Structure 1
Amino acid sequence: MELAVTALNGLLPKLGSLLVGEYNLQKRVRGEIRFLKDEMERMQAALNVLSKQPADCVSDLDKLWARDLKELSYDIEDSVDTFMLRVDGAHANPRRLTGFRRFIDKIGLIDKMKLVKQAKVRRRVAMELEDIKNRVTEVAARRERYTTVPTEQPDTKAIIDPRIQSLFEDVPDLVGIDGPSERLASLLTQGRENLMVASIVGLGGLGKTTLANSVYQRLGSQFKCQAFVSVSLKPDIKRTLSSILRQVRSNNCTDDGEKDPANANDGEKDPEELIRSIRKCLNDKRYFIVIDDLWDESAWKIIKCALIDNCHGSRVIVTTRNLHVAKLCATPIGGALCELEPLSDAHSKRLFYKRVFNKDGIHNELDEVAGRILKKCGGVPLAIITVASLLASKPRTRYEWNRVYRSLGSGLDKDKTMENMRVILSLSYYELPSYLKPCLMYLSLFPEDCHIDKDSLVRRWVAEGLVDGQDGRNLYELYDLGESYFIELVNRSFIQPLDIDAVDGIPNACSVHDVILDLLISLSTEDNFVSRLDCQNFVPSTRKIRRLLLQDNQEEVIVPQTVDVSHVRSVIAFGDAFHWMPHLSRFKFLRVLDLEGFPSKNNHPRDLRHLHHLRYLQLRGYLGREVLEEIGNLQHLKMLDLSHAYVHDDELPASIIRLRNLQSLLVDVGVKMPQGIGSLSLLQEISWIEVEPNTAAEFGRLTEMRVLCIYGLGFDESDDQAFLQSLSNLSNLLGLFIDRSKLCSLDNLSDPRRVPARLRFFRGTRTTFQQLPRWFSWLSELSGLTITVNKLTQDDLKMLGALPELRFLQLEVAQEGTTAEERLSIGSDQPFESLEEFKFKHCARCWLVFSQGVMARLQKLELYFEVRKRDGALDVGLENLTSLKHLTIIVDCYQAKIRQVEAVETKLRNALDVHPNNPTLEMSRESTYYMQQDETSEHHQSLELPAANDESDNDSDAFM
């Protein structure tokens, strides 16, 4: 259903653009387009109504109608795109006219020929529109014809939640639960008298309910009142509250200790009355309540109103698949977040064999295939139990087990025994908002165990129209929206985050659990969303192929000429699969192309010019000059990613300048840009580009730039000045990243008031700046800053501390003897009111002292400590950082004695032990190879550091 909605969302704006007068349409054609637009808008409204219904309430007839409508929308969009290209002549060769064509251009024949050609195009489009109109009418009429036919009534029998068995598992049958259960029980039995809420979050089927129930059974007898309720996907808040009230009343607890005569009327109370009754019952009782399977924050906000904090040491456990919900529940003082991990290999094997053979023994003849099956299950108990139950009923032979293993890679619906697992995992999918489902299903285009780059994935979503752009958003705004989709999928435990960014805490990549990928492949096949050519026995679908995965399978997979790939929108080829990819001329409407290498035996570089609809191109491997030249013919290309490619001669050709629609250009460091890069006026993102004479001055013409990644500053003063002049023009810049540059200054702006005031992120890596630029004080939206400076002063800290949005700061002082002020104090005039993470490193004689009331939100602090420059002044005011949760200390042992290092570490630990917030400490040593051994005579001396006036070590100055 949602896929049809997404298809219509991409089509309707294009139909609207044809009616605004930009295209010289015949009157009859305009009427046809207006009819199509009106009809499709009404169909979209009907789809929106259906998409809000539970999946099991949508009839098969409506599902078929939505499928037909999706395919029809794609076909109409292809026709509209073709019309726009033909009328605009956008696919004509833009190179300079020569010979006979130059002559006929002089006498005006080319313009006349274009008019004749456009007239033919419009007549052809009129005929196509007539055919499309008939198809639209037929799709609508077919639905009307069959609505009068009685459809099969849904099963009205009560549906048994397959997770209910988790509540009644015998303790001896549980595997891998002891450790998490012990830790959670220990946490809940701490001596705090306040209400504590512990959240358990993780993938569906990971054992959240089992863990919660284990702890509930273990600790329940210690509490006066207990309740265990399941909220589920579509919460019935009244039923949930009634269940809590009924269970906590099982001890006949009322405010006066007498039996409440109103119990029988609980079902007639509204939620407000139920909440009042629960609070009244729990007012003076120590209670333990489990809220299982919570899906959204709105339900929690109501339920928590009933959970009174009566200072009797009450406890609540919440289980959820949504990380955002888990954090929300655990926010009260003393709350805890437990992210459930998959089972270890040993526990997975034990659970598997226990379920198959009812014992723990290892069976050597089946162990190898069992290992492959368990790898597919990925430590998810539900998957292990489900597959083990399936195998328990089958012959115990390698052949049969291999057959089951192969079936796991092609969908979860191959065996009825797998139904419970599919139901549980599908619950999460069907609960997703409509805009997330196509983005999630797009992940079925990637093979197992694939490391998926977030930025690349979001760009593909945008290129395919899966990110809603109906409000006229530009590329970067669409990217921001797509990134929010990515984060939401992480929070809902569908994708596993990788490579967490230190600045904003957002994962830079992700992977998809094999069990989830299996579900997505199954759903994708069912909805004809992705076709995967990763096996030799490829059987093409009878429906049109829209997205194609080509995966290297050691042997060539031949796509028959009879298979229609003309409607494919995305092609991704991994490994050597690009060698046997079909000829590019067969892909008439390709929008996304990602290849490991190019060209191949089936494709010549010149074939790229046929891809008139291409919006996103990523090429990896070696790229020759001819391939690079041909890329310049892709006139509608918006995103070009060559960041993982070896570019011929490390230089892009001049033809790249013809890509006037290009909005994102990504290359690796060392690839030079051609003259005229400033003419690509729509560019919003570029990386990495060298600051050199032919580029520095042209940056200023890229006024739409949002993210700029450069290197090579500090090598030529005139280039640096030209860059700074250009920087003054980039008023839309949000991210500036500088790498591999020499000692340089950014302070020489011609007009200090003309700065990129919207800048959110500044990151300087492998680059040292003379000092903090003064214009940083104008950056009221700066959120993340990473910078190394030669000089750091009290005024610099005052400037940074006043930035209202600064959340991440990584600050390094570079060289010995350049810092004018050694003791730097962070006081009330530099509060750093939004800072959450701070990393400070120095290679000079300076140190920091934190005053009371500063950095009120700081949770993570990392400090670098040179022992040989320390004179005993270890009091840096850590106790004033009241929100601190994690402290990292890096101890530089260079030329320090062992006793000095140990003494410093002991003092730091002691200082942290008395911190009111009890933060965790991570301490490590650096340069231990150069640490000096203690002299024999010193072993009997005090382990204290030298006194401040001790002249024995001239380099014993402190740094913090």
Structure 2
Amino acid sequence: MAESAVALLLKQLSTFLLTQSARLQGGLEREMQFIRDELGSMRAFLRDAELKEDDVSELKEWVSQVREVAYDTQDVLDEFIMRFARTCPDGFYGRVHNFYSSINNIRARHRISSKIESIKCRVIDICERHNRYRSDYGLSERGSYSADVEDVVSRFRGNALLLEETELVGIAEPKRKLISQLLDNSSNLKVVSVVGMGGIGKTTLVKRVYEDANVKRQFQLHAWLTISQTFHMTVVLKDLIQQLHNEIKESVPQEVESMDGDKLRAFVKDFLQEKKFSYIIVLDDLWRLESWEAIKYAFPEVNRGSCILITTRITGTASGCCIKSNGYVYKMQFLSSEESWTLFCRKIFGNKCCPPHLEDVSRGILDKCKGLPLAIVSIGGVLALKDKSKPEEWDMILHNLGGELEGIGKLERVKKILLLSYNDLPWFLKSSLLYMSIYPEDWNISVRFLIQRWIAEGFILQRKGMTIVEVANGYLNELINRCLIQVKELDHDGSIIYCNIHDILREIILTKSREQNLVTVAANGDYIRLPDNIRRLAIHRFIENHHEYNRFRHLRSLVMFKNKNLLIDSSLFKLFIGGSKLLNVLDLEGAELKSIPEEVFKLFHLKYLSLAHTKVEIIPQSIGKLQNLEFLNLLDTHVVELPVGILRLRKLRELLVYHHGDCSNNYVVRGFKAPREIGRLLSLHVLYSVDADNEETVREIRNLTQLRELSITKLRREDGKELCSSLGKLTSLREFLVYSTKEDEILDLQHPISPTPRALQLLSLTGQLEKVPQWLSSLQGLTIINLFGSGLREDPLESLQDLPNLVKIILNKAYEGEQLCFKVGGFQNLKQLDLTRLQQLKWVRVEKDALPCLQCLFMADCKQVNELPWGIQNLNKLQFLGFYNIGNELVTKLKDKGSEEYQKVVKIPKIVIANWIDGKWDEHFLQGDKAFHKL
């Protein structure tokens, strides 16, 4: 993290010196350049020092000092910008402001110069020790690998390979799948990759496959190579040559010892071709695709069905190794709750059951393991040594797992193995991962808000030709690729809505983040434990007895969680906000706020402000002071209008101001009344939801040409033509939602749009339609269409059936006809179909080759439907069928297992039939031949 802190500072310093040189005095500029140059010269050695710091206390202290001096320099830069770079008013008031400011600026410049001089002295001292430590501790420019960590990993991997078959749980099915891939009688070389998080059991699984009797018989030659992060091609190839010669009981030729990499590759290839044996070679713990590229040419591509079996933590490496080969990627899954419990009890109690008095605490501990075999086995080993008559000792493990991971022993091994993935990250990803320690345990992390926080914190580097959000999404995808983040929910376009982190990994990065002073988490209400200089504070529980402003003078981020009843009083604001003027992120979601304290508008550097789910009603004109604000979230507040001052926020990228209303009739969304000239917010990418109750607002929207997502409320019929005209200017628009001003208002969208928004992926129209807009059929990129309350008299499917990328359709009170027909060959990629409140609908027909990919069919409040959709038996990929409040006649038929209707759907894995009774759903679940009732 010191490397990350320094790298980010160097970037900021370069920009600062370029943009602020006119405001810098000569001496101050030279000192800034000196700091930049000295820290730059140390950066190359920081990665190596950070890997060794846990073993050498002097290095740990030195790395800490480098990190703190980087943080302090960043504070000084931001203080200078806040003081000297902010814009001043024009005219008479501007001259008065400048007069008084000039007096204050003399004092401020002197104070900042003193701070820079102090930092320079600290940097000189750090540099002197850096030069000494380079020779004392063998620091290198490239960074090396900790031998101690490699030894721990090697010993654990050795222990994993010695596990008895009886100790393994959940391995039978993965083993069967892999063996079937290996023994498929293919004549070509096959590459099989096994990928998953560290500690998930990749090596153990592959070893069981490698040693299987059938596999042994299939392949005449066998070799197991451990690659690891310290990959050296010549060492690996010589090891391979030795193992291959051992297999045929011959000695290795002497000339092999003096061969370079190219000759070694050629030697292996010639050997495998000449012997004409089939072979299986395991490359265990492969980190780099480049490592595979370096040695893959040693393996003949056609050789009697031979196989390369790879384990890796990185998805991209796994798939990359399988390109241009008869490849297969197997992604390891976490153990199920039943498998986890079996392994846990087997490790601790042997063949005995868990004692009743320990079951609750045991399941609590097991829940933190989240199906990770390494964690279960290691924690089980710790608990096996505890007194089983003293559940309080087990409670200590449950409530202090982070502390246990810091100890020496079995759980320290878990930490070191999982930290391999962290240590392997490039510097610009380390801070992004550690920042995720702000989230509470088991929190479903909103990717939209996470990315905006990353950006506001300055963790994301600009790249040419990409937006900052696109770069941030790349960071997220890379962390997922490295199995450090799990995906929880995907959007219609495959983008990620929610993600999370495994509990054990979260405990590790929480500790690492605290050590690096990146994030402080207040989770127990205990103020005394907070460090002296807090830079980012995440409050999971309210901090009591708050005082001492100096603790918060470096505060950059304040985020609150689980504080729905938290009253933010004036003293707390004075503490957090009055104590620091450098906040970048302020998230008070769910706090009991009715108004925004004035201190907020003094936060010049604020980029991210969330007041979602508060009771705030008024946004004052002073919002315009936040000239660096990029993200404003007022979701589900009482705000209905924004002031003219909002137009001064020229850097604003996302503006979320909407409230979810009652969805019992139409899905109601309340937006906000926009100030005139809202089109001046030219940086906006996301705008939810602006009231379009006048022609001027609709016309202004056309100026927001960078919009990716747009939601419009209160659209009147007479504004339809103007809206269509504006849409033609929004060529980057990907999501568009529009709501009519009232339920019976016509959405007049028949007017041409030129050019058609070809990037549009999601379209949601709430309001009456006389017919489906003609331009809709030309939206070739559209993936989701939602029609709410459209009241169409003509079948809308004809306009939609040829859209090639459509995956989801929702028709809610959208059609008044009796029949819907999915015609021959239509909707080739549709996966989900929701038909709701189609009161006149009686029949649904699915013709030949229509809906071939449909997985989910949901029908609700279609009470005249008394027959199954015609052709439903041909929907071979259907996984879910839901009937809520449909005709009683059809319900009766489906509940009769002997009926023709039941036989048509019996192969669908999940069928739900429900009726709304006494204020709740009375549901019947049918799954194959089994049925059970759930109320």
Identify whether the pair has TM-score above 0.5, normalized to the shorter chain.
yes
Any residues of structure 2 matched to 1:39-188 within 5 Å, and which? 39-51=35-47, 55-56=51-52, 64-88=61-85, 90=87, 108=92, 111-145=95-129, 147-148=131-132, 151=136, 159=151, 161=154, 162-188=156-182
When structure 1 is superposed on structure 2, of 611-620 and 328-337 the one drifting more is 328-337
Does structure 1 retain, via aligned residues, the 8 Å contact 2:486–2:502?
yes
Per-residue displacement from partner, 1:534-589 (whole Å, max 9, x unpaired)? Answer: 12444445552111111127xx5333426611111011111228547545312321
Change (3 A) 1:344 1:636: same
Please give the alpha-carbon distance, in whole angstroms, between the structure 2 residues aligned to 1:142 and 1:54: 15
1:721 aligns with 2:705: no
Matching residue's letter, 2:825: V
The one of 751, 773, 778 aligned to 1:748: 751
1:574 aligns with 2:561: yes
Does structure 2 retain, via aligned residues, the 8 Å contact 1:11–1:76?
no
SS at match of 1:552: coil
Please give the alpha-carbon distance, in whole angstroms, between the structure 1 residues aligned to 2:815 and 2:128: 84
Does structure 1 retain, via aligned residues, the 8 Å contact 2:161–2:207?
yes
Residue 239 of structure 2 corresponds to 243
Structure 2 unaligned residues grouped into runs of 5+: 140-145, 659-668, 836-840, 905-935
Does structure 1 retain, via aligned residues, the 8 Å contact 2:623–2:646?
yes
TM-aligned CA deviation for residue 665 of structure 1: 0.6
TM-aligned CA deviation for residue 346 of structure 1: 2.8
Please give the alpha-carbon distance, in whole angstroms, between the structure 2 residues aligned to 1:156 and 1:488: 26
Does structure 2 retain, via aligned residues, the 8 Å contact 1:613–1:636?
yes
When structure 1 is superposed on structure 2, of 556-565 and 377-386 the one drifting more is 556-565
Any residues of structure 2 matched to 1:620-639 within 5 Å, and which? 620-626=612-618, 631-639=623-631
TM-aligned CA deviation for residue 680 of structure 1: 2.7
Please give the alpha-carbon distance, in whole angstroms, between the structure 2 residues aligned to 1:905 and 1:191: 38
TM-aligned CA deviation for residue 408 of structure 1: 0.7
SS at match of 2:497: strand
SS at match of 1:338: strand
The one of 198, 216, 220 aligned to 1:224: 220
Residue 646 of structure 1 corresponds to 637
TM-aligned CA deviation for residue 262 of structure 1: 5.3
Per-residue displacement from partner, 1:197-229 (whole Å, max 9, x unpaired)? Answer: 333222111111111111111143222122222
1:33 aligns with 2:45: no
Residue 295 of structure 1 corresponds to 287
Residue 736 of structure 1 corresponds to 735
Per-residue displacement from partner, 1:236-271 (whole Å, max 9, x unpaired)? Answer: 23333333343344332xxxxxx8775444343333
Per-residue displacement from partner, 1:437-462 (whole Å, max 9, x unpaired)? Answer: 00000001111011110010010010
RMSD between aligned residues: 4.3
SS at match of 1:435: helix
Residue 355 of structure 2 corresponds to 363
SS at match of 2:855: strand
Change (3 A) 1:176 1:83: same
SS at match of 1:596: coil
When structure 1 is superposed on structure 2, of 77-86 and 289-298 the one drifting more is 77-86
Change (3 A) 1:536 1:438: same
SS at match of 2:302: coil
SS at match of 2:489: strand
TM-aligned CA deviation for residue 235 of structure 1: 2.0
SS at match of 1:299: helix
Residue 502 of structure 2 corresponds to 513
Residue 413 of structure 1 corresponds to 406
TM-aligned CA deviation for residue 488 of structure 1: 0.9
Residue 882 of structure 1 corresponds to none
Please give the alpha-carbon distance, in whole angstroms, between the structure 2 residues aligned to 1:295 and 1:791: 54
The one of 565, 571, 578 aligned to 2:552: 565
SS at match of 1:227: strand
The one of 253, 261, 267 aligned to 1:277: 267
Please give the alpha-carbon distance, in whole angstroms, between the structure 1 residues aligned to 2:402 and 2:500: 16
Residue 535 of structure 1 corresponds to 524
Does structure 1 retain, via aligned residues, the 8 Å contact 2:772–2:799?
no
Does structure 1 retain, via aligned residues, the 8 Å contact 2:444–2:498?
yes
TM-aligned CA deviation for residue 670 of structure 1: 0.6
Please give the alpha-carbon distance, in whole angstroms, between the structure 1 residues aligned to 2:63 and 2:899: 82
SS at match of 1:124: helix
Does structure 2 retain, via aligned residues, the 8 Å contact 1:894–1:928?
yes
Residue 833 of structure 1 corresponds to none
Any residues of structure 2 matched to 1:231-630 within 5 Å, and which? 231-252=227-248, 263-283=253-273, 284-310=276-302, 312-331=304-323, 335-396=327-388, 397-410=390-403, 412-469=405-462, 477-503=467-493, 505-540=494-529, 543-552=532-541, 557-561=544-548, 564-576=551-563, 578-579=566-567, 581=572, 582-598=575-591, 605-626=597-618
TM-aligned CA deviation for residue 36 of structure 1: 0.6
Residue 689 of structure 1 corresponds to 690
Per-residue displacement from partner, 1:830-860 (whole Å, max 9, x unpaired)? Answer: xxxxxxxxxxxx974451438xxxx9xx988
Does structure 2 retain, via aligned residues, the 8 Å contact 1:7–1:70?
no
Please give the alpha-carbon distance, in whole angstroms, between the structure 2 residues aligned to 1:783 and 1:43: 50
1:656 aligns with 2:640: no
Residue 763 of structure 1 corresponds to 763
Please give the alpha-carbon distance, in whole angstroms, between the structure 2 residues aligned to 1:934 and 1:597: 48
TM-aligned CA deviation for residue 383 of structure 1: 1.0
Please give the alpha-carbon distance, in whole angstroms, between the structure 2 residues aligned to 1:630 and 1:877: 54
Please give the alpha-carbon distance, in whole angstroms, between the structure 2 residues aligned to 1:809 and 1:353: 44
SS at match of 2:136: coil
Does structure 2 retain, via aligned residues, the 8 Å contact 1:231–1:293?
yes
Please give the alpha-carbon distance, in whole angstroms, between the structure 2 residues aligned to 1:721 and 1:816: 22
Matching residue's letter, 1:164: G
TM-aligned CA deviation for residue 485 of structure 1: 0.4
TM-aligned CA deviation for residue 119 of structure 1: 4.6
Change (3 A) 1:932 1:317: same
Please give the alpha-carbon distance, in whole angstroms, between the structure 1 residues aligned to 2:829 and 2:285: 29
TM-aligned CA deviation for residue 298 of structure 1: 1.8
Matching residue's letter, 1:623: K
Does structure 1 retain, via aligned residues, the 8 Å contact 2:606–2:628?
yes
SS at match of 1:730: coil
Per-residue displacement from partner, 1:415-455 (whole Å, max 9, x unpaired)? Answer: 43322111110100000111100000000111101111001
Per-residue displacement from partner, 1:780-835 (whole Å, max 9, x unpaired)? Answer: 9x58564769678999888x66xxxxx6655789999999xxxxxxxxxxxxxxxx
Change (3 A) 1:390 1:262: closer
Matching residue's letter, 1:171: E
Please give the alpha-carbon distance, in whole angstroms, between the structure 2 residues aligned to 1:590 and 1:506: 30
Change (3 A) 1:467 1:551: same
Does structure 2 retain, via aligned residues, the 8 Å contact 1:895–1:930?
no
Change (3 A) 1:708 1:561: same
Matching residue's letter, 1:133: E
Residue 874 of structure 1 corresponds to 848
Structure 1 unaligned residues grouped into runs of 5+: 95-104, 253-258, 802-806, 820-841, 879-885, 910-919, 945-960
Does structure 1 retain, via aligned residues, the 8 Å contact 2:718–2:748?
no
SS at match of 2:191: strand
Please give the alpha-carbon distance, in whole angstroms, between the structure 1 residues aligned to 2:506 and 2:814: 53
Does structure 1 retain, via aligned residues, the 8 Å contact 2:190–2:325?
yes
Change (3 A) 1:134 1:559: same
